[in-house]
Structure 1
């Protein structure tokens, strides 16, 4: 699936992005959030839904941390998507920044070990504000036996984003995501 066309977006972009070119969707939302009716435009078997918070560790008020079972389900969805001959994959989360970019990196490299940096480059160019969720990548890296390949690729995407969006990196320093920023410091 490494060469498939893809879109990463947030919930507010769904109406615009869900057009005739989209063949499959991975929808990642916060627990308890309502389903977006725009997803009804895609055949039910081609929409893969996930619910967990955008956190990299347990945080008060966010009780659903990405877990190994979520990554296994994501990889299973990747298998089904590939078997269905996809033309354009849309991956969305709340903001189209963290969970969706991590999921895209995982899915596009699932069957292509060693090409993580190539996909990281595509993600950075396609979605310059991407900041892949490091926990999701750590879990997928372990599940796929990538020996740090997914982790390094995610770090590279975050490094690029921090270089052209230092304000965003500074904001994240004040949150539970500060470790992702600090690992970029020289």
Structure 2
């Protein structure tokens, strides 16, 4: 991120965690549903710094589910600050951000961390880089709106997200159908 100590960025889902264990992960941001157990895969990882956040991947309130809140995105930013402060500890850091599928919450968190670490980089370039890291990225729009505000990006991150959604829909029209089925039609409608 901001520190040159993080040389590798990875986003994945829970099912992919076992294969990441051999990749010298140094920092992990886990975003899990509130009721989901802690994945066993981390027991096989080398020592690493890990933060766990728990909330659901939704963009509108639903009974019994926990919406992303500004405090969650603030915790992502605190994770980024702590990672930058530890930057001198290693020269070959590897950041892994995961959620259930590695598509929405984790990609929103990753682009938030990238924006924090690279305040002068354009929002469109940040989302292009995110798509290089995780081609199926569909960042949670609620999280991105909070990040936009917390990072004082003036709505530019949210505008770039709309363009990103448009690229994703053109790249894979099935993604739009899948997102609508998941109750994320408002994001599909945002696609520019």
TM-score of the aligned structures, taking structure 1 as reference length? 0.90
Do structure 1's residue 123 and structure 2's residue 127 form an aligned pair?
no
- Map 1:21-170; keep pairs closer than 5 Å: 21-40=24-43, 41-43=45-47, 46-61=49-64, 63-85=65-87, 87-115=93-121, 116-170=123-177
Shift of 1:18: 2.2
C-alpha change, 1:113 and 1:65, in structure 2 (3 Å) is same
CA distance in structure 2 between the partners assigned to 1:10 and 1:38 by the alignment: 12
Which stretch has the larger CA shift, 31-40 or 148-157? 148-157
For residue 110 of structure 1, give the secondary structure of its aligned residue in structure 2.
helix
Contact 2:165 2:190 (8 Å CA) reproduced: no
Q: 1:184 aligns to what?
A: 191
Aligned residues: 183
TM-score relative to the length of structure 2: 0.87
Stretches of structure 2 that go unaligned for 5 or more consecutive residues are none
Aligned in 2, Cα 1:174/1:147: closer, same or farther, shift over 3 Å? Answer: same
Contact 1:130 1:157 in 2 (8 A): no
Superposed CA RMSD: 1.8
Q: Residue 183 of structure 1: CA displacement?
A: 1.3
CA distance in 2, matches of 1:26, 1:172: 24
| Preserved CA contact (<8 Å) 1:123 1:157 | no
